[in-house]
């Protein structure tokens, strides 16, 4: 069986990645990998610089397990690029190992979720509402730096979902999804 195409939902916090990931996985009858950092924070209560590596390894383990269960497409709510961005933002951490891993494990396609949705506070999970444009630039810049294929996804509700479907169909016209 061929390896599934890895599609990553990418972008700053509160841009609808988790909801869109679940919708797309349901639509394509496949699996999706939740954001490990969210789970880690829920369990631990707070995150510090020493947690970057456990988050990195935990996310990789979840993705390895889910890739084995995926069908033609596999959706991930973030990846190592996001870990790299947040580690640098919060802790000034610039890990050559995470950078190299991110470069070597780019997704087949990224759906960059725009900041056109309203920012919603979520306890300790979200604290960058005041920096949304700057964070959006960081996420887009990373994709462009690595030459990763991506499409910007905008709109509310079904409009956002339809935009994601169109982007996937445009990127993979020969794939029978």
Digit-coded pLDDT (tens) for 75-101: 999 899 998 998 888 888 788 888 898
Instruction: For the chain, give the mean pLDDT.
Output: 89
Residue 30 has phi, psi (to 5 degrees) of -140, -175
Residues facing 74 on adjacent strands: 6
The pLDDT tens digits for 3-55 are 899 999 999 988 999 999 999 999 999 999 998 888 888 788 788 888 888 88
CA 19 to mean position of chain CA atoms? 12
Contact 11/113 with Cβ under 8 angstroms?
yes
In whole angstroms, what is the distance from residue 83 CA to residue 127 CA? 16
Report the pLDDT averaged over residues 125-147: 86
pTM: 0.91
Structural domain boundaries of the chain? 5-171
Check if CATH label 3.40.640.10 holds for domain 5-171.
no
């Amino acid at each position: 069986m061929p390896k599934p195409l890895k599609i990553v939902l990418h972008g700053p916090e509160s841009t609808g990645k988790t909801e869109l990931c679940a919708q797309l996985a349901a639509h394509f009858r496949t699996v999706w990998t939740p954001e490990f950092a969210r789970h880690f924070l829920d369990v631990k209560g707070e995150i510090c610089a020493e947690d970057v590596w456990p988050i990195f390894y935990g996310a990789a383990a979840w993705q390895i397990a889910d890739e084995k269960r995926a069908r033609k497409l596999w959706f991930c709510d973030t990846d190592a690029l996001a870990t790299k961005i947040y580690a640098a933002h919060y802790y000034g951490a610039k890990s050559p190992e995470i950078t190299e891993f991110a470069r070597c494990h780019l997704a087949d396609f990224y759906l960059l979720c725009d900041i056109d949705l309203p920012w919603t506070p979520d306890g300790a999970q979200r604290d960058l509402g005041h920096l949304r444009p700057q964070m959006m630039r960081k996420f887009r810049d990373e994709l462009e730096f690595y030459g990763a294929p991506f499409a910007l996804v905008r709109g509310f509700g079904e409009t956002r979902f339809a935009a994601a479907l169109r982007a996937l169909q445009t990127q993979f016209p020969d794939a029978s999804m």
